Copies of this chain bind each other. A is one copy, B any other.
Amino acid sequence: MADPALFEFLHTEMVAELWAQDPDPGPGGQKTSLLVLEGMGFRVGQALGERLPREMLAFREELDVLKFLCKDLWVAVFHKQMDSLRTNHQGTYVLQDNSFPLLVRMASGLQYLEEAPKFLAFTCGLLRGTLSTLGVKSLVTASVAALPACKFQVVIQKP
């Protein structure tokens, strides 16, 4: 009986519920559900960020903020660390998780790849929301090449 499962099950139900309400969407319909999930993730990320210890809110380096996401945030939410973090040193970061918990229960055939985006939207929002509380405006997108690995691309928006 474990907590990690609670979040995963709830996330699965949330995705299922949003797609059940919108079973055969047009090109715009699917996008609405993704936006809804991303928005929920953003607000949860913001709220989680607000519970951070004060000293974490004063990172000096952008890279420190990203390392914080890969370690502390990932462990708090997914009970593991991100597998790698790369950057072009110009405000773009690629965070790779080789076994992303919200994808591991999904069958790994190529035909399931197209289902993957709905299981990534919430987490994109979560990253963007936490960054927002840390004072960093960003765009976050995700991509999957081979299940259950995935990459999150964070592009920092300079003021």
A residues lining the B interface (CB < 8 Å): 1-7, 9-11, 13-14, 17, 21, 36, 40, 43-44, 47-48, 51-53, 72-73, 76-77
Q: A10-B44, A13-B43, A14-B14 are in contact. Are A5 and B51 (CB under 8 A)?
A: yes
How often does this chain occur in the complex, in copies?
2
Please give the distance in Å from A8's CB to the nearest CB on chain B: 9
The main secondary structure of chain A at its interface with chain B is helix
Contacts A1-B48, A2-B76, A17-B40 known; list 13 others, CB within 8 Å.
A1-B72, A1-B73, A3-B4, A3-B7, A5-B51, A6-B7, A6-B48, A9-B47, A9-B48, A10-B10, A10-B11, A13-B40, A13-B43
Q: A1-B52, A14-B14, A36-B17 are in contact. Are A44 and B6 (CB under 8 A)?
A: yes
Q: Which single member of B17, B21, B53, B76 contacts A6 (CB below 8 Å)?
A: B76
Q: A9-B47, A9-B48, A10-B10 are in contact. Are A3 and B76 (CB under 8 A)?
A: yes
Please give the distance in Å from A7's CB to the nearest CB on chain B: 6
**A-B contact list, 9 entries, CB within 8 Å:** A1-B48, A1-B51, A2-B51, A3-B77, A9-B43, A10-B11, A10-B14, A13-B43, A14-B14
Is B9's CB under 8 angstroms from A7's CB?
A: no
Is B7's CB under 8 angstroms from A10's CB?
A: yes
A9 and B46 CA atoms in complex are apart in Å by 10
